[in-house]
């Protein structure tokens, strides 16, 4: 049989034996339009008054609507016009609305990305700003976080007359699930707040993992930060593998997100009958796989179903290269020396920007070894790829290279499974 793996905006097709297990999501097909899904969510908010009533009690100041950046494929152009019509019907003027892009530690958005994310109508008619985690005017809150850390957040959000967050709920390899509180932490947080949120001790905790919220320090820290800021309303969006909206959950921060997570967990966590010699997967396709930094997520998601010492074969677009300068420096400094990296970061309270992604990557290195991580891309030069603690192959023909690899392991009689949705699926195994 033939399976399809998204890579950048393209798809590669790989022939695999017919008996090969394919682990994927199983969301129901959406039966109503996006407008109807939004209307239903807003008419019956969870643990909250309806949005119209809430706007009648808003504080002086802007109505700030927080949206995700380009790394999350949310079809805001199909959501925001209807949402804004409702907001304006509650007496809010266009000039009072500010769209705040929760970039977290990511780079600022470009105009073309804003058009892609939000659509021409929204970009043309509303104010839009990117969060800057290193801005000088971030505000420190009086309330500390769950872990006792000082919280500094985007000034526009803290001073808003009404704070509404939106986000995509999907498996998240550190925080259990994305969405909800993550729009604020790390989305609107200072560099220092994010560093604490992604510090060594948090990520060394076994509970900081996919589809787990209970006792997950990343979830608890992020939730406490968002609660300290005060979120007036939240909208959580669920997409299937076709990027169709299948459900929305609106209302109070924790309750609405919790309901969304419970729904997602039912559909993204298939149970494997065994662990496998080889796992073939991807990095989610565009826009998630634009950097090797983001591609780490797909590798971590494969861990529950690959044997110790087994092999992960994966692909990534990486149109923007490896990642931030800080991440590149970490990867190159500790190339094939993850034990030294863990020793260094565990012995200091200082947290280097983006060290958290390499720390999560070390989970993969420890289970399968760098030589058994086969990463195929065409966008990163071979001399750089060879220094990223993996068996990276830079090739203009990813499909041919992956097919040859799979044909080889089939001839060797190795067991294989496929996770064609990469980090959007969080398989489990009893083994």
Do 238 and 321 fall into the same domain?
Answer: no
> Would you say how long the chain is, in residues?
431
Q: State which of 268, 293, 323 marks the end of a domain.
A: 268
Same domain, 183 and 38: yes
Q: Which two tokens stand for residue 170?
A: 């999907």
Per-residue pLDDT, 244: 96
362-371 pLDDT, tens per residue?
Answer: 999 999 999 9
Do residues 104 and 252 share a domain? yes
The gap from C-alpha 38 to its chain's centroid, in whole angstroms, comes to 22
Torsions phi, psi of 53, nearest 5? -65, -40
Mean pLDDT of 247-255: 98
Residue 127 inside a domain? The answer is: yes
* In a shared domain, residues 167 and 223: yes
**Secondary-structure breakdown of the chain: helix, strand, coil percentages, each rounded to the nearest 5:** 40, 20, 40
CB-side exposure of 293: number of CA atoms within 13 Å?
23
Same domain? For 348 and 279 the reply is yes
The pLDDT of 109-133, averaged and rounded, is 95
Q: How many domains does the chain have?
A: 2
Looking at the fold, whether 369 and 246 belong to one and the same domain comes out as no
3-state SS assignment for residue 225: helix
**Omega of the bond leading into 408 within 30 degrees of 0 (cis):** no
Q: Rounded to 5 degrees, what angle do the CA atoms 328, 329, 332 make?
A: 85
Residue 254 · residue 227 · CB < 8 Å: yes
Residue 111 confidence (pLDDT) above 60: yes
Domain contains 29: no
pLDDT digits (tens, 9 = 90+) for 212-229: 999 999 999 999 999 999
Residue 10 forms part of a structural domain = yes
Final residue before a domain boundary, out of 224, 243, 268 = 268
For 109, 239, 296, 424, the CA distances from 71, given in Å and listed in that order, are 10, 14, 14, 13
Distance of CA 424 to the CA centre of its chain: 9
Q: What is the CATH number of the domain that holds 185?
A: 3.40.50.11440
Q: What is the pLDDT of residue 431?
A: 52
Interatomic CA distance for residues 323 and 293, integer angstroms: 5
Distance, C-alpha 172 to centroid of its chain? 6
Strands 139-140 and 152-153: antiparallel
Whether residue 11 sits in one domain with residue 88: no
Longest dimension (CA), the chain: 69
CA–CA distance, 230 with 184 (Å, rounded to integer): 10
Average pLDDT value for the chain? 96
Cβ atoms of 76 and 117 within 8 Å: the answer is yes
Query: Can you tell me the distance from the alpha carbon of 285 to that of 295, in angstroms, rounded to the nearest whole number?
Result: 9
Q: Which residues contact 2 (CB under 8 A, 6 or more apart)?
A: 13, 14, 15, 16
Q: Is the pLDDT of residue 163 over 90?
A: yes
- Pair 177, 44 in one domain: yes
Say if residue 402's pLDDT is above 80: yes
**256 and 294 part of one domain:** no
- 366 and 239 share one domain: no
Residue 196: pLDDT over 90: no
Q: Closest Cα to residue 26, out of 425, 391, 379?
A: 425
Phi, psi of 277 (to 5 degrees): -65, -40
| 282 within a domain of the structure (yes/no) | yes
Q: Are residues 310 and 414 in the same domain?
A: yes
Q: What is the average per-residue pLDDT within 98-102? A: 98
What pLDDT, in 10s, does the model give residues 308-356? Answer: 999 999 999 999 999 999 999 999 999 989 999 999 999 998 999 999 9
Residue 208 backbone class (left: φ over 0; alpha: ψ -120 to 50; beta: rest):
beta
Is the CB of residue 393 less than 8 Å from the CB of residue 327?
no
Distance, in Å, from the CA atom of 180 to the CA atom of 235, rounded to the nearest integer, reads 8
The domain boundary, picked from 213, 238, 268, lies at 268
- CA distance between the termini of the chain: 26
| Model pLDDT, residue 106 | 87
Q: What residues make up the domain containing 222? A: 34-268
pLDDT of residue 336: 87
Please indicate, yes or no, whether residues 385 and 284 belong to a single structural domain of this protein.
Answer: yes
Query: How many beta carbons lie within 10 A of that of residue 378, not counting itself?
Result: 18
pLDDT above 70 covers what percent of the chain? 100
Q: How many Cα atoms occupy the beta-carbon half-sphere of 283 within 13 Å?
A: 27
The CATH number that applies at residue 375 is: 3.90.226.30
What local confidence, expressed as pLDDT, does residue 430 receive? 60
Across 82-121, b (16+ Cβ under 10 Å) vs e yields bbbebbeebebeeebbbbbbbbbbbeebeeebbebbbbee
Please give the structure tokens belonging to residue 172: 């998240």
């Amino acid at each position: 049989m033939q399976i399809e793996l998204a890579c950048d905006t393209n798809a590669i097709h790989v022939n695999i034996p017919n008996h090969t297990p394919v682990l994927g999501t199983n969301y129901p097909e959406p039966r109503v339009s996006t407008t109807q899904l939004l209307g239903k969510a807003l008419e019956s908010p969870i643990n909250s008054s309806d949005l119209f009533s809430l706007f009648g009690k808003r504080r002086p100041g802007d109505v700030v609507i927080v949206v995700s950046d380009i790394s999350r494929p949310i079809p805001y152009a199909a959501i925001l016009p209807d949402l804004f019509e409702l907001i304006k019907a509650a007496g809010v003027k266009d000039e009072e609305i500010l769209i705040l892009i929760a970039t977290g530690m990511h780079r600022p958005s470009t105009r073309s990305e804003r058009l892609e994310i939000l659509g021409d109508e929204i970009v043309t008619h509303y104010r839009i700003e990117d969060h800057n985690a290193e801005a000088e005017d971030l505000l420190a809150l009086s309330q500390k976080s769950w872990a006792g850390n000082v919280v500094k957040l985007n000034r526009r959000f803290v001073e808003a007359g009404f704070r509404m967050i939106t986000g995509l709920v999907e498996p998240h390899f550190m925080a259990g699930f994305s969405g909800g509180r993550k729009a604020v932490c790390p989305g609107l947080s200072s560099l220092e707040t994010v560093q604490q949120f992604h510090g060594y001790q948090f990520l060394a905790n076994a509970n900081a993992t996919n589809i787990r919220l209970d006792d997950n320090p990343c979830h608890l820290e992020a939730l406490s930060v968002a609660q300290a800021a005060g979120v007036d309303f939240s909208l959580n969006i669920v997409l299937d593998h076709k990027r169709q909206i299948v459900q929305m959950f609106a209302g109070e921060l924790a309750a609405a997100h919790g309901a969304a997570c419970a729904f997602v967990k039912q559909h993204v966590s298939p149970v494997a009958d065994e662990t496998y010699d080889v796992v073939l997967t991807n990095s989610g396709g565009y826009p998630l796989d634009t950097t090797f930094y983001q591609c780490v997520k797909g590798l971590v998601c494969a861990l529950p179903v690959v044997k110790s010492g087994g092999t992960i074969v994966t692909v990534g677009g990486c149109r923007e290269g490896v990642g931030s300068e800080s991440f590149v420096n970490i990867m190159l400094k500790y190339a094939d020396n993850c034990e030294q990296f863990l020793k260094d970061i565990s012995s200091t309270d200082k947290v280097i920007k983006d060290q958290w992604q390499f720390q999560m990557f070390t989970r993969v290195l420890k289970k399968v070894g760098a030589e058994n991580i086969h990463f195929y891309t065409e966008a990163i030069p071979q001399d750089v790829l060879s220094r990223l603690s993996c068996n990276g192959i830079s090739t203009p023909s990813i499909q041919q290279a992956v097919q040859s690899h799979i044909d080889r392991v089939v001839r060797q009689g190795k067991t294989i499974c496929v996770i064609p949705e990469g980090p959007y699926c969080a398989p489990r195994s009893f083994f």
